[in-house]
Chains A and B, each alone.
Chain A
Amino acid sequence: MILRRPFFWIIGIAMLAFAAAPLGKNVELRESLVLAAVYIILASNLNMMLGYAGYVNFGSIVFFGLGGYFCLFLMSARDWPLIPAILAGGIAVSFLAFLFGIGILRLRGVYFALATIGVNEAVMAFVNNFEPWGGATGIYLSTGIFQQLGGPASALWIVYYLLVATMGLSLYLSYFVKRSKFGLGLLAIGQNEDAAAVLGVPTPRYKALIYSASAFLPAVAGGLYFFKGAFIQPPDAFDLQLSTEAIVITMLGGQGTILGPALGAFLYEELRGWLLTSATFSSFQLVIAGALLLVIVLFAPGGLMGLLHRRWPNLKRFLE
């Protein structure tokens, strides 16, 4: 049944395109696609909070950073192989998110958004002083670590394919959540939380669950990303700027849609690449991101997908 939905194949084709594009040893293209994949993972998981449940999570990067830390710690101090380490990181971060969620999901609107920044800052301050994780100096992996994947060159390719798979899983997760009863409850919460509760939607449980679920794949991605660099330290792991960019991306593509965050991430990454390399704009990247966010919120609250759907309503059936 699911195989008959055009959407299922669109995600598959996008993954294949990502996988095939840098073949023939085009390392430069691969590195730019790594970043695009990370953006897509962050944005489409954020979208389940922001677009479905209507909760603005400014600190979603904390999942990415913690995932990286768990993974690198397990690999360096406990000699775990990569795959178990990223999975353990994902599970641990999901569990932590569930606990944080129970605490801060009582807050709404601006207060929730502020609390998510607080969580990120508190975790960063903690890690800065947490000796087992290297404190402010962070964790370095020895170069020998890549031997388990057949040396550095092949390890980078394997990590790239794992990231592309994580990206695909993020999109499928967004899709299945949105099409489920759980997703319907989340959308109801996003529209009017009080009315949803009166209709029987178990709002506290659903919110904590989606907060926790939206932490898993970003944490896995964090593990992969920092393994690839063989190095992690607090300012890189808990970089609020990436969180903010994930929000811009989600809004740009169309919050609440499934493909929107992916489309937004791709365009944003292209734009960012161009701005960073252009002589005139190189230090204006965030200014442009801010202005972009303002324009979207004011003139196209539905983002790119909203514009497409309005122009061609039939498109809704294919591009969800």
Chain B
Amino acid sequence: MSALLEIENLSKRFGGLQAVGSLSFTVVEREILGLIGPNGAGKSTVFNLINGVFAPDGGRIRFRGADITGEPPHRVARCGLARSHQIVQPFIGMSVLENCTVGACFGRGNLPLARARETARETAAMVGLGDRLETPASQLTIAGKKRLELARALSAQPALLLLDEVLAGLNPTEVDHMIGIIRAIRERGTAILIIEHLMQAIMSLSDRIVVLNSGRKLTEGAPAEVARDAQVIEAYLGDPELAKTLKGRKK
């Protein structure tokens, strides 16, 4: 398994707040890596640093062997790295098909318009929007917009997909459906880096998990190991005593 995305000593400071500090981790090909941590741990900032929305203060980001540190978002996208936003950002005046066509046109494939439309149709169908191609994005439900966000990123035919809380705000049926889609994406050979607060979901989806707290890596490992880690429980529940009690109870 070769490394797809390598992050080394990544740092970002916002005024007095160290949002991300000396963070290092690697995503390998065809893997689903979960990124978890309490609110404000710096997860979304890590995404913004990777895809170039923010320039890091220090550290290196290498993607498919090339250094992409500090590159603007559109260049990073062209390299084959796509993302979905935590707060969905559809082009509300465009149809579902047009939204996905933008992704296909300007993503890794850099496709001409006609072929981009075909790819867009396929990805829209893959996330279950195949019968809504002409619907304006503004008329979709929240679940529909989340799927659109995913389809649009996927239309770029990325090598790595960054998913920022795609399950938030969905009901249990929709969550199950979305998990199925995410698995199907991985089956096609796309690696996924996913931020998620829904623990059950991320534990079952991820091959490995990286835990962030206050911008630093707390631990890293298989889902089961991470879930037993006292530090992790403490970070989430905020009380070492409670952490010990819980651990004792499990035994």
Mark A residues whose CB is within 8 Å of B.
180-181, 184-185, 187-188, 191-192, 194-204
Contact = CB atoms under 8 A, between A and B. Distances in A.
Given A187-B94, A192-B91, A196-B102, A181 B77 contact: no
Nearest to A302: B93
Contact of A200 (B85, B92, B156): B156
Contact of A195 (B72, B91, B107): B91
Contact of A184 (B74, B83, B102): B102
Contacts of B101: 184
Given A185-B105, A201-B74, A191 B91 contact: yes
B31 interface: no
Nearest to B113: A181
Nearest to B103: A199
A265 B110 CA distance: 37
A191 B91 CA distance: 5
B112 interface: yes
Contacts, number: 73
A191 B73 contact: no
A310 to B, nearest CB: 12
Chain B contact residues (Cβ within 8 angstroms of A): what range?
A: 20 to 34
B245 interface: no
Contacts of B98: 184, 187
A226 B112 CA distance: 41
Q: Chain A contact residues: over half helix, strand or loop, or mixed?
A: helix
Nearest to A183: B113
CB-based closest 6 A-B pairs: A200-B77, A200-B106, A191-B91, A195-B89, A197-B73, A188-B102
Given A187-B91, A191-B92, A194-B89, A200 B113 contact: no
Interface in B37-74: 51, 53, 72-74
B94 A185 contact: no
Nearest to A187: B94
B216 interface: no
A125 to B, nearest CB: 34
B112 A200 contact: no
Nearest to B79: A200
Nearest to A256: B93
Max chain A CB contacts within 10 Å: which of B102, B103, B153? Answer: B102
A185 B73 contact: no
Interface of B: 51, 53, 72-74, 77-78, 82-83, 85, 89-94, 98, 101-103, 105-107, 110, 112-113, 116, 152-153, 156
Nearest to B114: A181
Contacts of B93: 187, 191
Given A200-B77, A201-B102, 17 more contacts: A181-B116, A184-B102, A184-B105, A188-B91, A188-B94, A188-B102, A191-B93, A194-B53, A196-B91, A196-B102, A198-B73, A198-B77, A199-B74, A199-B103, A199-B106, A200-B110, A204-B72
B109 to A, nearest CB: 10
18 contacts: A181-B113, A184-B102, A185-B105, A187-B91, A188-B91, A192-B91, A195-B89, A195-B90, A198-B53, A198-B77, A198-B83, A199-B77, A199-B103, A199-B106, A200-B78, A200-B110, A202-B74, A204-B72
Nearest to B77: A200
B92 A181 contact: no
B99 to A, nearest CB: 9
Contacts of A202: 74, 106
A199 B152 contact: yes
Nearest to A204: B72
Contacts of B113: 180-181, 184
A187 B105 CA distance: 13
A202 to B, nearest CB: 5
Contacts of A195: 85, 89-91
A193 B102 CA distance: 12
Nearest to B152: A199
Nearest to B89: A195
A73 B133 CA distance: 54
A197 B81 CA distance: 12
B72 A199 contact: no
Contacts of A199: 74, 77, 82, 102-103, 106-107, 152-153, 156
Contacts of B53: 194, 198
B89 A181 contact: no
Nearest to A202: B74
B54 to A, nearest CB: 12
Contacts of A191: 91-94
A185 B82 CA distance: 16
A197 B93 CA distance: 17
A198 B82 CA distance: 7
A181 B101 CA distance: 9
